[in-house]
Every structure is written in C-alpha cells, then in structure tokens.
Amino acid sequence: MRSARPLPTPETQNFWDGCRAGELRLQRCRACHQVYFPPRPFCPHCTSRDLDAFTASGRATLYSYIINHRPRPDMGTEPHSIAVVTLEEGPRMMTNIIGCPQTPEALQLDMELQVVFEVQNETITLPFFKPLSHEAEV
C-alpha cells in the first residue's frame, strides 16, 4: 500500500468524498462555464465564486507519461507508469495507468482511458486510469 496519501483540505474535501463514492468530481464555473481542476472555491478563469460540482464522465486520453524504473519504496519493485491524462471535460490530472503492461508499446500517447477507483484506506480512495474497453460498454 502506498504511503504517500493525500490529506484533504476544506477546499478539496468534496473531490475526495466523490472518489470514495466512485465519482470523479470536477468544478464548473456558473459565470464563465469553464471546467477546472484541482478544486478550489473560485474559478481560476474569472474568479467567480459561483460554482457547480459535477461528476465527470471518467473518460480521458493519455497526454504524457514516464515509466519509473526506480520506484519509490512504497510503490513496489516493478517499473510503473506515472501519467498525465486529459479528461474528456478538459482539465488534466496526474495518475497511474493500470490494467496494461507498463511498457512504451502498451502506453501510446492519446490512447483512450477510463477512470477506476481503488480504496487506499477508510478515508482515501484514489482515481487511476486504465485503457478504455469498448466491449465493456455494451
């Protein structure tokens, strides 16, 4: 189990509550309609405090990544991806790509991804991304 766990703040608690509920929550500004991440109680585009939290689709594409061959001690011993994904709604976030070989051949930029949640402890559930399986949607 990874030892580096988020400590939510009042500004981010709703996001982490969403992860526990299996929802990837984003914020949208009611004034200028921009969607943004990480969460904060005002819009970074226009400073409006009139916000709406909503559940994102969970779909994303692979923007960039590395494969860490010298993992942090709590991350196991095998090389693993560290990736930045672009959510369907626009914002980007850091994650790991799981559910596929951790190789350049399996990790192609712009590949389609889907969020999956993994419980870390009673308060923290982390969002990860795996390759999108079209068959699973039927």
Residue 40 CB, nearest approach to another protein (Å): 10
Cβ proximity of 36 and 43 under 8 Å:
yes
| Shortest distance, position 66 Cβ to another protein, whole Å | 4
Q: Return the number of the residue (126 or 132) whose C-beta is nearest another protein.
A: 126
Q: How far is the CB of 96 from another protein (least distance, A)?
A: 5
DSSP string for 36-55 = ESS--SS-TTT----EEEEE
Q: Which is nearer to another protein, 54 or 63 (CB)?
A: 63
**Rounded CA gap, 111 and 96, in Å?**
14
Q: Which is nearer to another protein, 9 or 138 (CB)?
A: 9
Cα separation, 15 vs 1, whole angstroms: 21
- Tell me how far apart the alpha carbons of residues 63 and 116 are, in angstroms, rounded to a whole number: 18
The torsion region of residue 58 among left (phi > 0), alpha (psi -120 to 50) and beta comes to left
Contacts with another protein, residue ranges (CB under 8 A): 2, 4-9, 12, 38, 63-72, 75, 79-80, 82, 84, 92-96, 104, 109, 120, 124, 126
Is the Cβ of residue 17 or residue 134 nearer to another protein in the bound state?
17
